[in-house]
Structure 1
Amino acid sequence: MEVTWREAMRRALYGAEGFYLRERPDRHFRTSVHASPAFAEAVLRLLLRVDAALGRPDPVDLVDMGSGNGLLAARVLAAAPPDLSKRLRVTAVDLSPRPGDLDPRVAWEPEAPYGAGGLVIANEWLDNVPLDIAEMTPDGPRLVLVDTSTGEERLGPAPGPEDLAWLERWWPLRSPGERAEIGRPRDEAWASVIRRLARGTAVAVDYAHLAGRRPPLGTVAGYRDGSAVPPTPDGSCDITAHVALDACAAAGERAGAEATTLTTQREALRDLGVTGARPPLALASTDPAGYVRALGRASQEAELIDPAGLGGFGWLRQSRHREERS
């Protein structure tokens, strides 16, 4: 069956037999959360900053968008100091079934709550929000249609007016054969997060690209069992595409964000105390076991901030300081 890529991704990932409703994603690919507990510890330090800026409210929220198996939410909750822990309200947001071993203090919801005050973290969530693909032709952009069982493609109709406007603003196509992934659904998804945040900070962490450096042939990819596979939208694999985070940032500002920072994971985590620094060699003589543990920790941190790997991810941080009043 031939459909647009947005519809194909929706069915393949979130349909009745979709990949994310049937599979545990951590069995197929590794995120920063799985790479090291240092990531959750950095998120906790950011939450503590947000909590202090808000005046240490009771409750204070942590919302984990696209929570997967709930590991990030559970790790932050487990590591929270007593004063924060007793006020902390944790919500994991995911369409998959709740893991049976998840801490019962973590609420499990299919969508972000309204009125949260605290920190919303969306780690590798936006890249799985379905979107359409357009290809430039001599007659202008055309949508790409895909066979959901084989992955074969052909050109379809022109995008609608809103998508054409998005392309012209954020990912203009100039030469025949160039492709763009129409990120308007990601903008809308992120804007919804900002609107539902009463006070605090929302952070999106993802594969990203910015205007002027868009990949000319797009980024749609498939993953299964830890390896890249052809992105066939039949429900057998993860389907992902990098995120135009600058477009999401603009959408968040239209939705009410009052402060925006767009940077890399390397810079964001270094600001939160993740350095990858090796332990002093003298420790190997005085505490060999401690040295080995510290060396392992340094290696994990180095992976998180490696600019050629996870450290190259984009970090979009947006805040709201005042609640809207009706």
Structure 2
Amino acid sequence: MSAWLSWRVATERALYGPGGFYRRADGPAAHFRTSVHASRLFAVAVLRLLHAVDAALGHPARLDLVDVGAGRGELLTRIAELAGPGLASRLRLHGVEIAEHGLPAGIAWSADLPQDVTGLVVANEWLDNVPVDVVELTPEGVRLVLVDPATGAECLGDVPEPGDLAWLARWWPLAEAGTRAEVGRPRDAAWARAVGSLRAGVAVAIDYGHLRAERAAGAYPAGTLTGYREGRGVRPVPDGSCDVTAHVAVDACAAAGEAAGARETALLTQRDALHRLGISGARPALELASADPRAYLAALAEASEAAELTARGGLGDFWWLAQSVGIDLPARLTPRRPAPSGPG
């Protein structure tokens, strides 16, 4: 007999419960490639942003870098290696993750966000793994989609709760029977907590996502829920054998961050953000090949890595949602524009 669960409950158990996907010994890096794994240049860009935040804060005695959804601490480890002695003496590194770790001494670790952060909070591919409910519009109205965790089979359930219906009306209106959506309210709340953890500084969410105009136009009639295993997209089955993920409504998260106290918001692609942080992917001049072949090959390899981080149709299309608390956003992330706030 099938045990039908909402996708939110089933995904929570599959990813974070006992034996869940994110508690496995091999870790997410064995199944998909993030920007952190693609190149050390991603850590270089984060460090440059951290320096900009440090300057905006007036170089405080303690500067925090919090990595939310830190995996096995790859980003924090690289930042520790790259930070010069002047910054390292003030820098406090903190990873937020449920999995076990083997990090060097001096890097703090917790399952929950720390509070009173002064510095930079980075959430790279975190929000897409905050579990959400899936709904479908039927001739009788919106209904929850239920799933059998063992097989991935689905059926329709009850009407979603009023708060979810209100979120859908504002952020993902459904117009045709058979169309689906993921209800992003849990992600809004998670991002509001991340922004709220700042005493002063900047929070950045980096993820694949979409905007209300696309959603309302029917760009995602079946929603975006999918699975990943061993580097390949697979049918999402919430049994712990694969990642279960869905695109992020980044504009809804931006509005939640503003409600949590964000002063300024920037919403830009990773391609644009990395270009602003000096990661361009430009090939080195050919003259360097004859003048210094070793330097040319190193620069060529770096350009190749930067190209992967900024590629159209790939990592470059990720959204960067940057929001500041207590300070203006660093100039490296400008020009700024308000995030869409939806109707009403």
Q: What TM-score range do you get, normalising by the shorter chain?
A: over 0.9
Deviation at 1:76, TM superposition (A): 1.1
| 1:72 correspondence with 2:78 | no
Partner of 2:94: 91
Identify the range of structure 1 (277-286 vs 247-256) with the bigger mean alpha-carbon deviation.
Answer: 277-286
- Tell me the TM-score normalized by structure 2: 0.92
What SS does the aligned partner of 1:43 have? helix
What SS does the aligned partner of 2:222 have? coil
Partner of 2:303: 298
| Distance in 2, Cα, partners of 1:17 & 1:308 | 33
What SS does the aligned partner of 1:30 have? coil
Partner of 1:40: 43
| Distance in 2, Cα, partners of 1:16 & 1:71 | 23
**Pick aligned residue for 2:247 from 242, 245, 259:** 242
CA shift digits 1:2-22 (9 cap, x unpaired): 100000100000011110011
Partner of 1:278: 283
Deviation at 1:172, TM superposition (A): 0.4
CA shift digits 1:177-196 (9 cap, x unpaired): 11000000000000011111
What SS does the aligned partner of 2:29 have? helix
Deviation at 1:158, TM superposition (A): 0.7
Output aligned runs, 1:118-197, within 5 Å: 118-197=119-198
CA shift digits 1:53-83 (9 cap, x unpaired): 0011111100000000101011112111211
Code of the aligned partner of 1:7: V
| 1:55 correspondence with 2:58 | yes
| Distance in 2, Cα, partners of 1:67 & 1:199 | 21
Any unmatched runs of 5+ in structure 2?
328-344
Partner of 1:233: 238
| Distance in 1, Cα, partners of 2:273 & 2:314 | 14
| Distance in 1, Cα, partners of 2:294 & 2:232 | 34
**Pick aligned residue for 2:18 from 11, 16, 19:** 16
Structure 1 runs of 4+ off > 3 angstroms? none
| Distance in 2, Cα, partners of 1:66 & 1:221 | 19
What SS does the aligned partner of 1:236 have? coil
Output aligned runs, 1:301-316, within 5 Å: 301-316=306-321
| Distance in 2, Cα, partners of 1:77 & 1:199 | 22
Code of the aligned partner of 1:292: L
Partner of 1:264: 269
- Tell me the TM-score normalized by structure 1: 0.97
| Distance in 2, Cα, partners of 1:274 & 1:292 | 17
Deviation at 1:316, TM superposition (A): 0.1
What SS does the aligned partner of 1:213 have? helix
| Distance in 2, Cα, partners of 1:167 & 1:300 | 39
Aligned residues: 320
Any unmatched runs of 5+ in structure 1?
none
Deviation at 1:286, TM superposition (A): 1.8
| Distance in 2, Cα, partners of 1:2 & 1:207 | 29
| Distance in 2, Cα, partners of 1:138 & 1:276 | 50
| Distance in 1, Cα, partners of 2:174 & 2:260 | 27
Partner of 2:210: 209
| Distance in 2, Cα, partners of 1:39 & 1:150 | 37
Code of the aligned partner of 1:10: E
User: Identity of paired residues, percent?
Assistant: 58
Code of the aligned partner of 1:14: Y
Partner of 2:226: 221
What SS does the aligned partner of 2:285 have? coil
Identify the range of structure 1 (209-218 vs 58-67) with the bigger mean alpha-carbon deviation.
Answer: 209-218
